[in-house]
Amino acid sequence: MEDGPYKYIRDGNGKVSRVIRIGTRKSQLARIQTDSVAARLGELYPDVHVEIVAMSTIGDKILDTALSKIGEKSLFTKELENALERNEVDIVVHSLKDLPTTLPPGFTIGAVLQRENPHDAVVLHPKKAGLTLDTLPDKSVIGTSSLRRAAQLKRRFPHLQFENIRGNLNTRLKKLDEKDCYAAIILAAAGLKRMGWENRISQILNPEDCMYAVGQGALAVEVRARDKDILEMVSILHHRDTVLRCVAERAFLRHLRACFFLLVMVLSHVSCPFQLYLTGAVYSLDGSDCLKETMQISVAPDNQIQEFADECTHVGVTACNVPESALAAAEKLGVDLASLLLSKGAKDILTTARQLNDAC
C-alpha cells in the first residue's frame, strides 16, 4: 500500500489514508478558493487526507506592475505548475480566467466547478453611496487596471476617468476607502463574494455595459495529465454547463490567437437544456473601436459511451463525464465565432491596441 507515486498517512488508530496535496497561491482569495475545493473533496472522499501547500508566484511578488505590462498570464501559475511537475503537490486550484488557453505539455484542467456570478461589480467610495456609474459626477475617477473593463466602460460612460489600481483585493479596498483618489473601483463579483464582501457591491454591471473575461467566475483544478487516478477523482467536481460555456469561451480566445487577450471579452449561457450561446467581442484600448457577434449551437448529447482517453481534452479541459459530442460542439462554437470576428478585422483592432499599450 505504501508503494507507488502516492503518499499515505497513518493516524493514531492505525487507519491509512491517501494524501492529496493541493497547491495554492498565498493570497487570501486563492486560499479561500482552495479551501472550498479541499472541503468538497473531503466530503466526497472521506478516506482521503487533504493537505494544502501555499506558495508565492512571480505575479504575487510584482503586484504593483500593471498586468498588461507583465504580459503573460502564466506568471501566476508557473510556480504552481513546477510544484505539480516535481510531484510536490497533486492538484492546483486556480481562477480559470488566470489560466492560459494552451497549458504546458503534461498538464490538464481536470475540473471546472460551477460558475459564480461572472459579471463585474462596482464598489463605491463610502462618500459616493447611492450613486451609479451613470450618476457619478463628471471626471470621477474609477480605479481599474483591467484594460477590458476600462475599454468597455470608457465607451459607455465617457464622463468618467479611469486609472490603474493594483494590489490584491484587500489592498485595493483599502486604497479606495482610505484615500480620496477613486470614486469607485471595479472588481469581479465572484472574487468579492468569495471574500465575503458582497455587501460592498453597489452595482453589478450588465453585459451591455461590460462583458466578462474568458473563464471569469469559475474555479479550475489543474492536474498532471498522466495521473488518470487523480483526474478521475477530481472529475466529479465538473459542472456541465460551466464546462461547456468555458470550453466555448476558451476556444474563442485561443482561435483569435489573441496577441492581446486582455481586450477580448465574452458572454455565454446555456438555455434549457441543450442550446449554448456565446457572444464574443474585441475592443480598442479607448473603446472607440469594437466588434461583437453572437452565435449558438446545440450541445445535445449523442448517447455515445465515453472512453476515459486523452481525446476528451478540449482547450486544456479534460471532462470525460461530459458528453464528447457536446464538448466538441462547444469548442466548434468558440472557433466559429472567432473566425467570424477575424473576418471582420478583429486582428487589426487587437494588434493596434497592443502596440499602443506597449508604447505608453
Name the strand (E) or helix (H) holding 95: strand 91-95
CB 214 within 8 A of CB 249: yes
CB 46 within 8 A of CB 18: no
Q: How far is the CB of 323 from ligand DPM (least distance, A)?
A: 26
Q: Which of 92, 112, 136, 188 binds ligand DPM (CB under 6 A)?
A: 188
Q: How far is the CB of 147 from ligand DPM (least distance, A)?
A: 7
For residue 310, indicate whether it is catalytic: no
67 in contact with ligand DPM (CB under 6 A): yes
If the CB atoms of residues 190 and 338 are measured against ligand DPM, the closer one turns out to be: 190
At position 10, the amino acid (one-letter code) is R
Q: What's CA 82's distance to the chain center, in Å?
A: 20
CB 58 within 8 A of CB 75: yes
Q: How far is the CB of 10 from ligand DPM (least distance, A)?
A: 37
3-state secondary structure of 143: strand
Q: For ligand DPM, which stretch binds (CB under 6 A), given 188-196, 225-233, 332-340, 350-358?
A: 188-196
List Cβ neighbours of 210 (8 Å cut-off, separation of 6 or more). Answer: 119, 120, 149, 152, 153, 156, 186, 265
Nearest to 291, CA basis, from 339, 359, 232, 355: 339
- Name residue, grid cell 462547444: 330
If the CB atoms of residues 244 and 264 are measured against ligand DPM, the closer one turns out to be: 264
If the CB atoms of residues 148 and 255 are measured against ligand DPM, the closer one turns out to be: 148
Query: Would you give the DSSP letter of residue 309?
Result: S
Classify strands 141-143 and 184-188 as parallel, antiparallel or unpaired.
parallel
Q: For ligand DPM, which stretch binds (CB under 6 A), given 1-9, 80-88, 185-193, 333-341?
A: 185-193
Q: Which of 24, 27, 144, 279 binds ligand DPM (CB under 6 A)?
A: 144
Q: For ligand DPM, which stretch binds (CB under 6 A), given 183-191, 221-229, 317-325, 333-341?
A: 183-191
Active-site residue identified among 90, 98, 209, 227: 98
Binders of ligand DPM among 95-114, rule CB under 6 A? Answer: 95, 97-98
Q: How far is the CB of 226 from ligand DPM (least distance, A)?
A: 27
Cell digits of residue 287: 473603446
Query: Would you give the DSSP letter of residue 266?
Result: E
Query: Could you give the string, one character per residue 244-283, with x where binding to ligand DPM holds by CB under 6 A and - elsewhere?
Result: ------------------x---------------------
3-state secondary structure of 271: strand
Distance, in Å, from the CA atom of 211 to the CA atom of 43, rounded to the nearest integer, reads: 35
Q: For ligand DPM, which stretch binds (CB under 6 A), given 3-11, 186-194, 196-204, 325-333?
A: 186-194
148 in contact with ligand DPM (CB under 6 A): yes
Distance, in Å, from the CA atom of 13 to the CA atom of 295, rounded to the nearest integer, reads: 58
274 CB-side CA count, 13 A: 11
Distance, in Å, from the CA atom of 360 to the CA atom of 353, rounded to the nearest integer, reads: 11
Query: Could you give the string, one character per residue 203-232, with x where binding to ligand DPM holds by CB under 6 A and - elsewhere?
Result: ----------x--xx---------------
Q: How far is the CB of 251 from ligand DPM (least distance, A)?
A: 17
If the CB atoms of residues 216 and 318 are measured against ligand DPM, the closer one turns out to be: 216
239 in contact with ligand DPM (CB under 6 A): no
Size of the chain in residues: 360
If the CB atoms of residues 33 and 326 are measured against ligand DPM, the closer one turns out to be: 33
Q: Which residues bind ligand DPM (CB under 6 A)?
A: 67, 95, 97-98, 144-146, 148-149, 187-188, 190-191, 213, 216-217, 262
Active site residues: 98
